[in-house]
Structure 1
Amino acid sequence: MAYEPPTHSVERSMRATLGVKVVAGIDEVGRGAWAGPVTVCAAVTGLRRPPEGLTDSKLLTVKRRTALAATLAGWVTDHALGHASPEEIDDLGMTVALRLAALRALEGLSVRPDAVILDGKYDYLGGPWRVRTVIKGDQSCVPVAAASVIAKVHRDAMMGELGLEHSAFGFAENAGYPSPVHRAALEELGPTPHHRLSWAYLDALPRWRHLKKVRGTAEQAEQLGLDLGPVF
């Protein structure tokens, strides 16, 4: 199936209206999973023509996505990945965990971006960054689409490695997301150290329900003294 290719129109607009030069695209993967980290990629592409077939990672086959990620690794101007662990997701809540992972990704770039394009409707990054949120940015914006593919392939590989250790859960196929195999393994074996214990799936597992944690909030993160300020 053919998709409308992403463009640099948002970057060009930000350059014209904000006077910025280096714009990073950011996308995440793993937000809705039961297990594994949430992973964020920050990618800087400049205004060059993107590789053929670049689009939202979810619209690509595994084979095409993997091949494209290998191409992108050498094509992007710069990119870096950041993760927030299941424990951090439980303790801090998903919004704060996403920001933490994004800050880690941005910290990994060789040059601080002047502005950021964030996939989706909500700005979980916040100040002091100049942020432009774009719904379906992973389909329409080149750097966000690049970040989407790189993040997805990287996290899937991580979950595949965890699957070698916990073969019953099918992590290599489901990447920690809900699936019949995953649910059956949870019912029989209970959660692994890589599972999020504040997630609602535990409510449906009477044998393991006692392990459930109360999900953290941004306010609790502040009480813990977590520094989520500028990283540069």
Structure 2
Amino acid sequence: MTKLLLAGVDEAGRGPLAGPVSAAAVILDPDRVPVGLADSKVITAARREELYQEIMASALSVSVAFSSPALIDRLNIRGATLDAMRRAVRGLSLRPSSVEIDGKDVPHGLQLPARAIIDGDALVPAISAASIIAKVTRDRLMIKLATTYPLYGFERHMGYGTAEHTAAIDTHGPCPHHRLTFGRLKAYRA
């Protein structure tokens, strides 16, 4: 009998002013589901890191895809997020039997049975795992970007529109990783 493989999908980074949006697809091993999976937003950064390691060690397949700020500006955040989700599913090393996605949209072109689940990251372990993988991967990328663009403090706010970040934009203007269709950054768009 063929084992049914469920891929959970979620994103991180829809709201920031800078950096990509990331999407992860995860197929958990039903016999090795990490304890404590939850929506990445409700667990501490330290616990996310621990769970990230557990997921990566035990999942049957994990894939992450990004949509760049330029793609976000071109498509809009919804379109860029769905594009990253589609690419994350396609990047899995195993073909899932079905896909469950956090939110209310299913990306076009999956060519698999799929459904969107509002608050799925709190309800479906595979989506919770994808939430954690997407968040940790994106945060690590933002910390790395901070070494190239230290004026913005990306390592502290991960690109979100904090007072520190918006003050840095006002002082220095945007860098190539800012989303020029978001908020005050629209003024810098050519």
Interval containing the TM-score (normalised by the shorter chain): over 0.9
Q: Following superposition, which runs of at least 4 residues in structure 1 exceed 4 angstroms of deviation?
A: none
Q: How many Å apart are 1:168 and its aligned residue?
A: 2.1
Comparing 139-148 and 111-120, the one that deviates more: 111-120
Given the alignment, which residue of 47, 64, 82 partners 2:47? 64
1:80-102 deviation per Cα after TM superposition (whole angstroms, max 9, x unaligned): 00111100111112222112211
Aligned to 1:52: 35
Query: Given residue 131 of structure 2, which amino acid in structure 1 is its aligned partner?
Result: S
Equivalent AA in structure 1 for residue 24 of structure 2:
C
Choose which of 65, 72, 95 in structure 2 pairs with 1:89. Answer: 72
Aligned to 2:142: 159
Identical amino acids, percent of aligned pairs: 38
Offset of 1:49 from its aligned partner? 5.1
Could you list the runs of 5+ residues in structure 1 that have no partner in the other structure? 1-18, 204-208, 214-232
Q: The residue matched to 1:95 in structure 2 has which SS?
A: helix
**What is the root-mean-square deviation in Å for CA atoms of aligned residues?**
1.8
Whichever of the two has the greater Rg, that structure is: 1
Aligned to 1:171: 154
1:148 aligns with 2:131: yes
Identify which of structures 1 and 2 has the higher relative contact order when contacts are C-alpha pairs closer than 8 Å and 6+ apart: 2
Answer whether contact 2:98 2:113 (CA < 8 A) is retained. Answer: yes
Q: What is the CA deviation profile of residues 93-140 of structure 1, one whole-angstrom value per residue up to 9, with x for unaligned ones?
A: 222211221122122211222211000123244653321111111111
CA contact (8 A) 2:32 2:58 kept: no
Aligned-partner Cα distance in 1 for 2:32–2:53: 17
Matched, 1:22 2:10: no
Structure-1-length-normalised TM-score: 0.76
Q: 1:37 aligns with which of 8, 17, 20?
A: 20
Unpaired segments of 5 or more residues in structure 2? none
Superposed, 1:108-147 pairs within 5 Å as 108-125=91-108, 128-147=111-130
